[in-house]
Structure formats: C-alpha cells, structure tokens
Amino acid sequence: MSEKLLTGAQVVVEALKREGVECIFAYPGGNAIPLFDALLDSSIDTILVRHEQGAAHAADGYARATGRPGVALVTSGPGATNTLTGIYTAHMDSVPLVVICGQTISPLLGKDAFQESDISGMSFSCVKYSYLVKSADDLPRVMREAFRIATTGRPGPVLIDLPKDVGAALCHSSFEDEVKLPGYRVPSKGDPAKIREAAALLAESKRPVILAGHGAAISGAHRQIVELAEKLQAPVVNTLLGLGTIPGTHELSLGMLGMHGTAYANMAVMNCDLIMSVGSRWDDRITGKLDEFCPNAKVIHVDIDPAEIGKIVVPDVSVVGDAKAVLEELLPLVSKLDTAAWLKQVQGWKRKYPLKYRKQGGLRVQAVVDEFYRLTKGDAVVTTDVGQHQMWAAQFYRFNRPRQLLTSGGAGTMGYGLPSAVGAAVGVKDKTVATIVGDGGLQMTQFELATAAIRKLPIKILVMDNKYLGMVRQWQDMFYSKRYSSVDMTGNPDFVKLGEAYGIKGFRIRRMADISKVLKKALAYDDGPCIVHCEVEKEDNVFPMIPAGAPYSSMLLERPKEELEKPEGGA
Amino acid sequence: MELREKLPAHAISLTVANRPGVLVRVALVFSRRGFNIDSLVVSPAIDGDFSRMNIVARGEPRELGQMIAQLEKLVDVVAAKDHTDDDVVMRELALIKVLCSPEERSEILQLVQHFRATTVDMTESSMTIQVTGESEKIDAMTRLCSKFHMVEFIRTGKVIVARGPEAT
C-alpha cells in the first residue's frame, strides 16, 4: 500500500496531481497558507490572480475552453465569499469547478473567528456539492469524490471547505479508498424504447427543428448533431451556450434562437411541427411566453438531468441520457424526412431577414465582431461579458466548434469576460483567445489585467465602449420612455492608457474605416495581451428582439416608433 | 395560516446518505419553491450509513413532481418518493399536557380510554397523555382536549412505511 504520512495540504496537492490538474487559479490568505506551502513542492502551475472572483471565473473559463475541471484555491472569510459569484455562474451553466477554500481552525468553527465564514452554508444553493472536511484522513476520498461529482453527469461546481488545522495535520494518505456516493447516479445511455419513440415521432415530422444546447457541447455531441441534421434534413437552432455544436456556416444552421436570436431561427421555431431539444433546459430567454412557445409542435427532450424533463416544457417524448450516447443510438433509427418544402421556406426567411446593421455612420460593435470573425477565420476562442456586445458576439461571430464561445448564459454575470479569458488563455495555447467586453463589464473585473500582463497571456481584449450600460439603456429606451436611469458611464477611463499602466499594448478604433487595419495589428501583436479600445456608437440597439415574456409573434426586427408595453418577463 | 390551509399536504419519504449538511440541502429544495414544511422526521436507517426522512409539506401539487426530481438529483439522496395517494401505514405520536382538577380528571381519562391513549405523567393538578395513530385521530384527540387547559402539545410528525413485504 502506498501509505506514508503527509499533511492534509500535501494530500490535497497530491490528489490534484492524481486528477491531472496542471494549473490552479489562486489567491492566498492566512488560513490557506498550508495549502500554498504544499504547492511550492509540486509541479502544478499556481496562477496568482488579483481577486478571488477572478480566480473562480478564470477556473470556469479554463474548464469551458478545455473540457477539464477548473480549480480555484482561496482563503477563508472574504476570500471564500468573493468566489460565490463565480461559483454561481458556473452552477447556472453546468461548468465543472473544484473550489478549495481555507477555513479557520476546526475548534473555532461557528465561533465567529477572524476570517471565518460559513462558506458551506452560504454556497449550498449554488454548488453541485460541497464538503466541510473535519479530518485529514478523509481528504483522499473527498478529493476524488469532488472531481467525480464536478465532472460527471451534468457537470457543476464542488466546494471544499478546509480548516487550517486539517490542512496542517499529518494523516494516512491512502488513495486507494473507494468513493462513497450511493445517492449519485449518472445517466449514460438513454432508454432504447424511448429512443425508438423519438425516432417514430421524428419520422412523422414535415417541419422539424433541432435545438442544440450546452448539454450537446459538454457531451461532445457536435458531430452527431450535424449528422442528425444532415440525415433528417432538419435545420438546427442553438441556444447561446449551444453555439458551435453545428458550424455557424453550415447551411442547416440557423444560429441562435430566442430573445436576441436570428429572425429565421425564431420563425422556424414558431412554425415547426416538431422541436427536438438536445441538452437545452428551455430557458426563459429562449421560450418567451411559454403558453405560446411552439404551439403546434411535438416536443422531444434529450437531457442528462432527469429534473430538467418537464420542468418548463412538457415533452411528448423524453430521453434521459448523455447527448452523444443517445444520438448515436438514435442515428441508425432515422432516415431522411420529406422536408424539401420546409427547408425552402426556412432558406427564404434566411434570405429575407438576415442579421444586419448600419454600415454608415459611427463605429458599430457588430462591424468589429464581423471583421474580427473574418480575420480570425472563425477559429478564435472568444469569451464575452454580458449585455449588448454579448448578443452581437453571438450573432456575428459564427462559431464552428464547441468550447469556442465562453459566455455567462444562465447567470448573466457582468465581469465574466476578462477573467474567463485569462483561464482560457492558460488552457488553450494553439488558438487566438479573445474577449469581447463592454465598458461596464470590463470595469467590474479589470483587476485581472494584471494577471494577463504578468503572465503575458496573449489575450485580445476588445473593449466595446459606448459609455453606457447598453442593454439596460436599450430597455429604458424601448420600454421606459427613454428615461435613462443610472446607465451613463461618462467618465470611463481611457482603456488604452489603463492598459499602459499594466504594460499592456493598446490600440484604438474610432471609425468604421479603421476596423480592419487596427484589428490586423492587434492580431499580429505577439508580446502578451493587448487592448483594442473601440469607441462605438453610444446608442445602438440589439435586434431582433422578443421582449421578455412575450410570444415569438411579438418579435421586433427594428425599433418601433411607438412606446412599447413594459415586458412581463423577468430581467 | 391562509396559505397552509389552501395548499394540500404531501407526504414524502427519503432515503439519504448520513452526511453533514444533508438536512439543509433537502430543506432548501422545499424553501426555494415556497413549500412550507409541516413536519419532518429524521432517523437512522437499518444501515447506519443512511438515514430515513419523512416530510409533510404544503405546496402546489403541480410542482410536486419537479420537487421529487430535484430531491433525487441531490448527491446525498438515494431515493425520494411522494406517498400522497399510496397505500401506506402512516403514524404519529403526540404528547399532550393538560391542567386538570380532580373533577376533570375522570372525564379526561375517558377520552384517554376512548382513543387508546395512555397517561405517561400525572400530578395533583396535571396529566400528560401520549396518543399514537393516524394524524386525523391525533387531531380529534387534540380538539377534545382543547376544552381543558392544555399547557403543552407536541407531535412527532408523520412516519411512513409501505404496506406489504416491500421496502418503502
């Protein structure tokens, strides 16, 4: 038996190595010192971030970009609480994270000790699972379970709360113990009878739509999605997080559906006679008014999480299982459908209602994204922040593979863009890594400019600066009589100078005519990160738009002249 | 109060891994969806690595299926089941302490006899009654006792076991 005495902290580090962890995103503090001490003797790359929220988002970006679990290590108290936004973001988007928090010594637990926070208690509702480790002997099992839970089934964040004395204690370091998770079930293959039912339902469809979400990307089912679409001759729409599961340039791809989806995707969804969701949870951003969503369509729902079945949309046929495994079983059972007329109609919508923007006048975000897509040949890993630029990135960068767009979908976390790009750039070395951020979101986590600069991470930071919180301004413009309240960001820093303070190269774009020239320079720059400060039109709105809680039939292709009713849906 | 009366009660049984925090995780599934827990019983299962939980909660029936699914999704939950319409044995135990004069005592003892309850403590001026059975029986006993001076009343909440040889 491989049993020798190690400290709890050494066990944690050894366990990380055994899990294949190459890097962690970390910020130390008093109660985490034993862990940081043990890291000195390991080959794990410890990336010192500038704020614990940055650590959690960076681990998230690393995980989404690579498919491997992201690991963050922080101290107790405020160190731990600062990770909560990042943990919640990962939880909403099913991202595998292991977050290790230092904690006060165990005799002081619950006694309001210095930098004690009940992080387990605070995080219950935004983790997949969590541990408060009371004995170092439990650590090998806890670490294995944590990685098992984080990475399997529907992935998610796992938090480990580690009191300082447990990290310092000597313990038996047997890594042979089995994990003990009797209540933890991971669906894999779907029920063959259900898959046959799905095939039978598909066979009757004349106007099918495949809806591919994040689950399809996580499962690596992108080839099967394309194969299914081609075999059936059915168009594919994507959720925001599902983009890339079919190449955006594929003729059967209709891009994103929902609130700011393409008109043709939404028209296809509105008129289909069958919608088959693979790994989407029917978020309210995509259903709009639920009672009127896909009114005449049969519904097939494939999901690895049984709790998603019937949560929002009640399916006619559901299959619980891994998307890739289910599609592989389904593919031999289906054949080409009689969809010629349907595809003709869909292609007609595609031609008639393309995504568009004004090419004259001031600088437009859409144009910057469009040109960046062209210059990077659609191959970059792109993270975004949240808001208008995020929707334009989703619309105008045609993603070709999963794990290419990293964006906070469920949580809509402003500040996600830059730190997640730090994580992505650490994990992905052979692709251009870019973050498209707004002026608001960048300022929420701009402290990670330091991490990017010190590590010379080659991130292209495209700042879309309209000096407004653009999406809120858009709602106030359209639904609140243009009464702009707390959205004016006048007084923003000069982002080129801000970058200079960190030793980051800066570029600036003010005119449409300069986009290509400047972006080329930014892409050619090869000495670490660079900022491209894009001074864009102050007031531009994202279209198409289905107002929150409204039916698809209320989709707006441009700003109506008249005042609109305040939306009934959330956010 | 109004909310509790309007919404139907559901009896749910759970088998869970006996781990710290499991009660909080289970309770959060209820609270997040606005379910009000009427009673909750936790005890170790035959295999000490597991615990049994019986929960009676009130909430929208159409959300119940989703609740069970969310409970089953919890890493520590081995099984979750709604017993609202099942053929099960459900029992509760209540302890009722009443103040009584010597004249009232015999009337109370009649009640005790009728409900097959027992007296578990008695003083010059008080009596403590233990009553077991279905919840409705305990409700009835309590109603009848309320004409006396009840100083304390506590019930365990429902415990549930399926009829027949199969485990619940």
Q: Kindly state whether residues B43 and B16 are assigned to the same domain.
A: yes
Q: What is the pLDDT of residue A254?
A: 98
Whether B93 maps to a domain, the answer reads yes
Measure in Å the smallest separation between the Cα of A183 and chain B Cα atoms. 4
Q: Does the CB of A125 have a partner CB in chain B at under 8 Å?
A: yes
Tell me, what's the pLDDT at A172? 81
Q: Is A161 exposed, middle or buried (0-12, 13-18, 19+ CB in 10 A)?
A: buried
Instruction: State the amino acid at position A183 in one-letter form.
Output: G
Q: Are B98 and B110 contained in the same domain?
A: yes
Give yes or no for B42 touching A (CB within 8 A): no
| Tally of structural domains, chain B | 2
**Are residues B93 and B68 part of one domain?**
no
Q: Is the pTM of this model over 0.90?
A: yes
Distances (CA, A) of A57 to A70, A86, A220, A414, A498: 9, 5, 22, 11, 21
Residue A405 phi, psi (nearest 5): -105, 120
Q: Is A124–B16 a contact, with Cβ atoms under 8 angstroms apart?
A: no
Is the pLDDT at B160 greater than 70? The verdict is yes
Is there a single domain that holds both residue B56 and residue B45?
yes
B51 plus B65 within the same structural domain: yes
By DSSP bridging, strand A405-406 and strand A381-384 are parallel
B24 touches chain A (CB under 8 A): yes
In this model, does residue B3 exceed pLDDT 50? no
Give the catalytic positions of A in this structure: 52, 114-115, 164, 471
Residue B128 forms part of a structural domain: yes
- The answer for residues whose C-beta is within 8 angstroms of residue B39's C-beta and 6 or more apart is B54, B55, B56, B155, B156, B157, B158
- Asked whether residue B60 is assigned to any structural domain, the reply reads yes
Are B79 and B15 within one domain? yes
The pLDDT score that the predictor gives to residue A3 is: 61
Burial class (CB in 10 A: 0-12, 13-18, 19+), A451: buried
CB-CB neighbors (< 8 A) of A149 in chain B: 75
Give DSSP secondary structure letters for A31-86. GGHHHHHHHTTS--EEEE-SSHHHHHHHHHHHHHHHSSPEEEEE-STHHHHTTHHH
Tell me, what CATH number does B147's domain have? 3.30.70.1150
Task: For residue B166, tell me if it sits in a domain.
Answer: no
Contact A532, A522 (CB under 8 A): yes
Q: Note the CATH number of domain A365-543.
A: 3.40.50.970
Q: Does residue B9 surpass a pLDDT of 90?
A: no
Residues B141 and B156 in one domain: yes
Three-point CA angle B97, B98, B101, nearest 5°: 145
Please, what is the Cα angle at B25 between A283 and A218, to 5 degrees?
A: 40
Is pLDDT at B1 greater than 70 in this prediction? Answer: no
Of the candidates B16, B32, B75, the beta carbon closest to that of A181 is on B75
Give the mean model confidence (pLDDT) for residues B34-43. Answer: 92
A128 half-sphere exposure, CB direction, 13 A CA radius: 27
Q: How far apart are CA A156 and CA A153, in angstroms?
A: 9
B115 found inside a domain: yes
Distance from CA of B5 to the nearest CA of A (A): 26
Residues of chain B found within 8 Å of residue A182, distances taken between Cβ atoms: 17, 49-50, 78
User: Above 70 in pLDDT, residue B5?
Assistant: no
Percent share of chain B, pLDDT over 90: 79
The C-alpha angle with vertex A540 and arms to A537 and A543, in degrees rounded to 5, equals: 145
| Contact between A257 and A266 (Cβ < 8 Å) | yes
Would you state the pLDDT for residue A2?
A: 53
Three-state secondary-structure class, residue A434: strand
* Chain pair A-B, CB pairs under 8 angstroms: 44
Residue of chain B whose alpha carbon sits nearest to that of A305: B73
Q: Out of B86, B120, B139, pick the residue that ends a domain.
A: B86
Are residues B106 and B59 both part of a single domain? Answer: no
Identify whether the C-beta of residue A25 lies closer than 8 Å to the C-beta of residue A71: yes
In a mutational test of the A interface, the residue from B24, B31, B73, B74 whose CB has the highest number of chain A CBs within 10 Å is B73
Same domain flag for B72 and B108: no
Q: Residue A264 has what DSSP assignment?
A: H
Q: Which of A103, A184, A309 to mutate against chain B (most B CBs within 10 Å)?
A: A184
- Distance to chain A for B150, nearest Cα, Å: 38
State the pLDDT at residue A35: 98
> What are the DSSP calls for A540-561, one per residue?
----SB--TT--GGG-BSS--S
Show me where the domains of chain A are located.
5-172, 192-352, 365-543
Of A89 and B10, the structure prediction assigns the larger pLDDT to: A89
Q: Which CATH number is correct for A5-172, 3.30.10.20, 3.30.70.2740, 3.40.630.30, 3.40.50.970?
A: 3.40.50.970
Q: Which of A183, A306, A309 sits opposite B76 (nearest CB)?
A: A183
When pLDDT is cut at 50, 70 and 90, the band that residue B62 belongs to is confident
pLDDT at B86 over 90: no
Q: What is the pLDDT of residue A199?
A: 98
Domain shared by B16 and B62, yes or no: yes
Asked, colleague to colleague, whether A5-172 and A192-352 share their fold, the answer is yes
Say if B168 falls within a structural domain. no
Task: State how far the Cα of A210 lies from the Cα of A229, in Å rounded to an integer.
Answer: 7
Which residue among B52, B86, B120 closes a domain?
A: B86
Residue corresponding to tokens 């749910």: B12
Q: Which two tokens stand for residue A380?
A: 């970059």
| CB interface of A with B, residues 155-194, below 8 Å | 180-184
Q: What pLDDT is recorded for position A200? A: 98
pLDDT per residue of chain A (571 residues) written in tens, 0 to 9:
456 789 999 999 999 999 999 999 999 999 999 999 999 999 999 999 999 999 999 999 999 999 999 999 999 999 999 999 999 999 999 999 999 999 999 999 999 999 999 999 999 999 999 999 999 999 999 999 999 999 999 999 999 999 999 999 999 878 877 788 999 999 989 999 999 999 999 999 999 999 999 999 999 999 999 999 999 999 999 999 999 999 999 999 999 999 999 999 999 999 999 999 999 999 999 999 999 999 889 999 999 999 999 999 999 999 999 999 999 999 999 999 999 999 999 999 999 999 999 999 999 999 999 999 999 999 999 999 999 999 999 999 999 999 999 999 999 999 999 999 999 999 999 999 999 999 999 999 999 999 999 999 999 999 999 999 999 999 999 999 999 999 999 999 999 999 999 999 999 999 999 999 999 999 999 999 999 999 999 999 999 999 999 999 999 999 998 888 888 888 7
| CB contact at 8 A, A503 and A453 | yes
Q: Which helix (H) or strand (E) holds B4?
A: helix B2-6
In a domain, B167, yes or no: no
Give the domain range for residue B28. Answer: 2-86
The whole-angstrom distance between A53's CA and the closest CA on chain B is 24
pLDDT at residue B87, rounded to an integer: 86
Closest CA of chain B from A265, distance in Å: 30
Q: How far is CA A330 from CA A60, A193, A214, A333, A412, in A?
A: 32, 11, 19, 5, 34
Chain B contact present for A512, CB below 8 A: no
Chain B residue closest in CA terms to A120: B21
Domain boundary among B70, B86, B102: B86
Q: Write the CB contacts of A493 (distance below 8 Å, at least 6 apart in sequence).
A: A443
Strands B36-44 and B50-58: antiparallel
Report the residue of chain B nearest A154, measured CA to CA: B73
- Whether B130 maps to a domain, the answer reads yes
Which architecture, in CATH terms, is A192-352? 3-Layer(aba) Sandwich (3.40)
Asked if the Cβ–Cβ distance from A182 to B75 is below 8 Å, we say no
CATH number of the CATH domain containing B53:
3.30.70.260
